[in-house]
């Protein structure tokens, strides 16, 4: 038996081993896929509904669950217990992803870190928000919303009970907003750590929430039947524990760390022990955009090249939808194959990747598109990579093909970031998307990163980087990005420029000029509307007289010409002598370190 106190109370936690100052909410959508279908078609609400993938019911609505239809049941078994079960095919995940991203976007509006977990779950760290609310709250009057696992058994000096009660109210507001705006009912768990928040979440499902106080963590954990119920314990660890006759969480609570250390690394032994007692200090990690966006298609066997090509063509079509939703321009493409070795009855994966030209994609009115010619180029690259992976002079047997865009054009940071504002380019798109998200008017983003396959090789010889063509103009980005606060940025690390606020009247003028110039171009010459623009037209004329012959091709001349003189001079100097300036002349994608310069004075840190 471990020397730790099993019924650990607050004093135990306050010894620094496992403090509980945090407030974590875990939100899980009720019968997620089924609800998406029910929101799309309300007639399905009143009938028992199963979501079918191949021959399995992956989930069912609560009406069907009354009959005993369970997740991952065979269709035949489900129909036996519920002959009236209405089945909807759920193999196309598009609508589920979209709903998932919308829910994530709603949760971002509390401006707390949100970590997406799978499609229908999110952790939200509301610690700071709770602290804010505490300042204006009378501690004694805070009531809990929803259920508790147990009533508080002691008065904790650190104030965690009050904090968690406030967190329960925030959880309730979140669930209400998700329901009001998207129509989904959810469950929530509220606790001082992620582990307990997740595990307590389903206690009163559907459509309800449960709070657990820290002093009940250990006793709650002991009710879990299997060590496998602990989220971070996977099948291999479970096997290893079972082999030591540690089956239930109670078993794990009772075994000493020293015994565990005989079978696991020291860190792992301590972690396992802590988890069994309901301890978890892992932070809520803000979910950003995925590092790669990919899709795979598995099948019994394909041994003919033309069939492979068909598979890739279909996969590419679906992948381009995801990329369009994401909004970033991909610059690298990976092809994955799973090869079956007929002799050894085994299979293995192989991948190759290639750079792709960003010019394959165009951004028009905020929408990423690929022309048919662009798609053909992508297919050519895919098939070339395929040819490198497969020796076509010999028979081959594939059981999976996969495609993934693995790198994306990034905004530049530091001194070079000024170039972002001059480019007719896509990079600002990520900022626009994020702004849209909190307006809830967004097309969705895909956060489900695809893990890199086991054997990836980068094939730079296949690089097809061409000079970027002139891209459609962005006219509203300056105005839009003003609304974007640091907290509204889903992936702050990737959007450093979003943390800056334009402070220059001149750049305001740029924005207006760009807006007006667009209006002008849309207005027929004879239109009276033109007269209304006469003031700015003069300014435009003035601006057009300044030339930008020395500008690199990616620079929007109109914006450049509207910049103040000193800024123009500095930029020109940088382009003339890139080595001293840190700004590339030839490629806008190179990033350099920020140095002190006059350009940065046009920006101030965001408050
Ligand atoms: N899912 C799946 N395959 C599984 C488990 C789940 O495809 N083996 C999908 C269908 C679910 C969704 O993931 O709708 C979310 O999984 P959950 O475990 O949260 O289950 P539900 O949301 O469907 O039901 P619950 O109300 O129990 O959360
Ligand atoms: Mg769920
Ligand atoms: Mg879930």
Taking every pair of Cα atoms in the chain, the longest distance, rounded to a whole number of angstroms, is 90
Query: Is the model's pLDDT at 13 over the cut of 60?
Result: no
Query: Is the model's pLDDT at 47 over the cut of 70?
Result: yes
Residue keyed to tokens 């004694």: 140
Return the pLDDT at 424.
34
Return the pLDDT at 581.
43
Return the pLDDT at 571.
77
Contacts for 51 with CB less than 8 Å, ≥ 6 apart: 33, 34, 37, 57, 58, 59, 60, 87, 88, 89, 90
- Yes or no: say if 308 and 398 are a contact pair by the CB < 8 Å rule: yes
DSSP class per residue in 305-371? HHHHHHHHHHHHHHHHHHHHHH-PPEEEEEEEEEEEETTTTEEEEEEEEEE--GGGEEEETTEEEE-
Q: 28 alpha carbon to ligand 1 midpoint, in Å?
A: 9
Instruction: Please give the share of the chain, as a percent, with pLDDT higher than 70.
Output: 67
Comparison of pLDDT for 447 and 116, the residue scoring more = 116
Q: 186 alpha carbon to ligand 2 midpoint, in Å?
A: 8
User: How would residue 157 be classed by pLDDT, with cut points 50, 70 and 90?
Assistant: confident
Q: What is the pLDDT of residues 286-305, one digit of tens each?
A: 998 888 999 999 999 999 99
- Token pair in block for residue 412: 């530049």
371-375, 409-413, 463-467: least confident range: 463-467
CA distances to 207, 338, 349, 438, 604 from 181, rounded to whole Å, are: 15, 42, 42, 12, 35
Comparison of pLDDT for 580 and 174, the residue scoring more = 174
Average pLDDT over residues 248-277: 97
Sheet bearing 114-117, strands edge to edge: 114-117, 121-125, 24-29, 186-191, 209-211, 147-148
Average pLDDT over residues 105-124: 96
Q: DSSP letter at 264?
A: S
124-133, 311-320, 484-493: least confident range: 484-493
Asked if residue 206 has a cis previous peptide bond (ω within 30° of 0), the answer is yes
User: How would residue 557 be classed by pLDDT, with cut points 50, 70 and 90?
Assistant: low
25-34, 45-54, 452-461, 493-502: least confident range: 493-502
Q: Which residues line ligand 1 (CB under 6 A)?
A: 28-33, 58-59, 71-72, 119-120, 205-206
Q: What is the phi-psi region of residue 327: left when phi exceeds 0, alpha when psi lies from -120 to 50, beta otherwise?
A: left
- Yes or no: say if 90 and 78 are a contact pair by the CB < 8 Å rule: no
To test ligand 1's pocket by mutation, which of 71, 185, 448 has the most ligand atoms within 8 angstroms of CB?
A: 71
Q: 447 alpha carbon to ligand 1 midpoint, in Å?
A: 17
The 10 Å Cβ neighbour count of residue 177 is 16
- Yes or no: say if 396 and 308 are a contact pair by the CB < 8 Å rule: no
Query: Is the model's pLDDT at 65 over the cut of 50?
Result: yes
- Yes or no: say if 340 and 399 are a contact pair by the CB < 8 Å rule: yes
Question: Active site includes 121?
Answer: yes
Return the pLDDT at 570.
76
Q: What is the separation, in whole angstroms, between the first and last Cα of the chain?
A: 53
Closest of 601, 432, 606, 569 to residue 504, by C-alpha: 601
User: How would residue 251 be classed by pLDDT, with cut points 50, 70 and 90?
Assistant: very high
Ligand nearest to the CA of 206: 1
Return the pLDDT at 559.
66
Comparison of pLDDT for 565 and 102, the residue scoring more = 102
Give the angle subtended at the CA of 480 by the CAs of 436 and 171, to the nearest 5°: 40
Q: What is the pLDDT of residues 360-397, one digit of tens each?
A: 998 877 788 999 999 999 999 999 999 999 999 999 99
Return the pLDDT at 414.
42
Residue nearest to atom 4 of ligand 1 (CA): 58
User: How would residue 130 be classed by pLDDT, with cut points 50, 70 and 90?
Assistant: very high
Atom of ligand 1 nearest to the CA of 121: 19
21-35, 84-98, 460-474, 541-555: least confident range: 460-474
CA distances to 65, 423, 536 from 577, rounded to whole Å, are: 69, 19, 34
User: How would residue 42 be classed by pLDDT, with cut points 50, 70 and 90?
Assistant: very high
Query: Is the model's pLDDT at 544 over the cut of 80?
Result: no
Comparison of pLDDT for 567 and 355, the residue scoring more = 355
320 CB-contact burial (10 Å; exposed 0-12 / middle 13-18 / buried 19+): buried
Most trustworthy range by pLDDT among 317-321, 514-518, 525-529, 577-581:
317-321
Ligand nearest to the CA of 29: 2
Average pLDDT, the chain: 75
Return the pLDDT at 555.
63
- Token pair in block for residue 463: 């690089």
Q: Which of 121, 437, 488, 558 is catalytic?
A: 121
Return the pLDDT at 376.
97
**For the whole prediction, is pTM greater than 0.75?**
no
Query: Is the model's pLDDT at 8 over the cut of 60?
Result: no
Comparison of pLDDT for 88 and 415, the residue scoring more = 88
- Yes or no: say if 149 and 203 are a contact pair by the CB < 8 Å rule: yes
Average pLDDT over residues 51-57: 96
User: How would residue 215 be classed by pLDDT, with cut points 50, 70 and 90?
Assistant: very high
Comparison of pLDDT for 602 and 117, the residue scoring more = 117
Q: What is the pLDDT of residues 159-209, one digit of tens each?
A: 999 999 999 999 999 999 999 999 999 999 999 999 999 999 999 999 999
Residue nearest to atom 7 of ligand 1 (CA): 58
Q: 36 alpha carbon to ligand 2 midpoint, in Å?
A: 11
192-206, 232-246, 468-482: least confident range: 468-482
Instruction: Please give the share of the chain, as a percent, with pLDDT higher than 90.
Output: 57
Cα–Cα dist 251/175, whole Å:
36
Residue nearest to atom 6 of ligand 1 (CA): 58
Return the pLDDT at 599.
55
Query: Is the model's pLDDT at 421 over the cut of 90?
Result: no
DSSP class per residue in 104-171? HHHHHTT-S-EEEETTTEEEEE-HHHHHHHHHTS-GGG----SEESS---S--TT-HHHHHHHHHHHH
CA distances to 448, 592, 599 from 596, rounded to whole Å, are: 38, 13, 9
Return the pLDDT at 119.
95
User: How would residue 429 be classed by pLDDT, with cut points 50, 70 and 90?
Assistant: very low
Q: 235 alpha carbon to ligand 1 midpoint, in Å?
A: 19
Return the pLDDT at 579.
53
To test ligand 1's pocket by mutation, which of 63, 120, 122, 229 has the most ligand atoms within 8 angstroms of CB?
A: 120
């Amino acid at each position: 038996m471990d020397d730790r106190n099993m019924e650990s109370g607050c004093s135990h936690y306050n010894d620094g081993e496992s403090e509980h100052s945090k407030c974590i909410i875990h939100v899980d959508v009720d019968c997620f896929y089924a609800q998406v279908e029910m929101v799309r078609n309300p007639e399905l609400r009143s009938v028992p509904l199963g979501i079918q993938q191949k021959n399995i019911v992956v989930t069912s609505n609560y009406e069907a669950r009354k009959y005993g239809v369970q997740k991952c049941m065979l269709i035949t078994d489900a129909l036996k217990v519920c002959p009236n079960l209405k089945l909807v095919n759920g193999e196309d995940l598009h609508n589920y992803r979209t709903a998932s991203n919308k829910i994530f976007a709603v949760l971002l509006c509390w401006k707390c870190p949100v970590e997406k977990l799978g499609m229908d779950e999110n952790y939200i760290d509301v610690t700071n928000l709770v602290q804010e609310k505490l300042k204006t709250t009378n501690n004694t009057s805070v009531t809990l919303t929803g259920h508790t696992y147990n009533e508080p058994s002691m008065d904790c000096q650190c104030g965690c009970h009050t904090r968690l009660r406030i967190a329960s109210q925030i959880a309730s507001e979140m669930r209400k907003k998700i329901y009001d705006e998207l129509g989904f009912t959810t469950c929530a768990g509220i606790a001082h750590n992620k582990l307990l928040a997740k595990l307590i979440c389903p206690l009163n499902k559907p459509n309800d929430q449960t709070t657990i106080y820290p002093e009940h963590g250990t006793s709650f954990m002991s009710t879990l039947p299997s060590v496998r119920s602990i989220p971070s314990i996977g099948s291999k660890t479970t096997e290893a524990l079972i082999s030591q006759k540690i089956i239930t969480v109670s078993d794990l609570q009772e075994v000493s760390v020293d015994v565990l250390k005989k079978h696991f690394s020291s860190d792992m032994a301590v972690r396992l022990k802590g988890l069994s007692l309901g301890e978890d200090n892992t932070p809520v990690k803000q979910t950003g955009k995925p590092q790669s966006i990919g899709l795979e298609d598995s099948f019994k066997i394909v041994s003919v090249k033309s069939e492979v090509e068909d598979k890739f063509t279909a996969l590419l079509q679906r992948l381009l939808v995801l990329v369009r939703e994401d909004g970033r321009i991909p610059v690298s493409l990976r092809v994955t194959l799973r090869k079956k070795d007929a002799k050894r009855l085994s299979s293995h994966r192989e991948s190759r990747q290639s750079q792709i030209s960003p010019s394959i994609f165009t951004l028009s009115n905020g929408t990423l598109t690929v022309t048919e010619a662009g798609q053909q180029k992508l297919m050519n690259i895919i098939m070339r990579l395929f040819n490198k992976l497969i020796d076509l002079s010999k028979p081959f047997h594939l059981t999976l093909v996969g495609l993934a865009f693995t790198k994306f054009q990034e905004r530049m940071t530091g001194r070079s970031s000024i170039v972002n504002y001059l480019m007719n380019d896509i990079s600002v798109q990520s900022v626009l998307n994020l702004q849209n998200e909190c307006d809830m008017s967004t097309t969705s983003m895909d956060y489900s990163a695809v893990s890199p396959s086991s054997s990836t090789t980068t094939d730079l010889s296949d690089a097809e980087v061409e000079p970027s063509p002139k891209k459609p103009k962005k006219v509203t980005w300056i105005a839009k990005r003003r609304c974007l606060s640091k907290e509204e940025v889903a992936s702050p690390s990737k959007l450093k420029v979003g943390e800056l606020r334009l402070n220059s009247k001149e750049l305001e003028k740029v924005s207006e000029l760009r807006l007006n110039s667009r209006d002008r171009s849309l207005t027929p010459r004879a239109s009276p509307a033109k007269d209304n623009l006469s003031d700015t037209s003069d300014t435009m004329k003035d601006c057009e007289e300044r030339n930008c012959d020395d500008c690199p091709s990616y620079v929007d001349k109109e914006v450049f010409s509207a910049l103040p003189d000193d800024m123009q001079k500095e930029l020109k100097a940088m382009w003339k002598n890139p080595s001293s300036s840190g700004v590339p002349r030839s490629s806008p994608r190179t990033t350099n370190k920020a140095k002190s310069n006059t350009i940065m004075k046009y920006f101030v840190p965001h408050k």
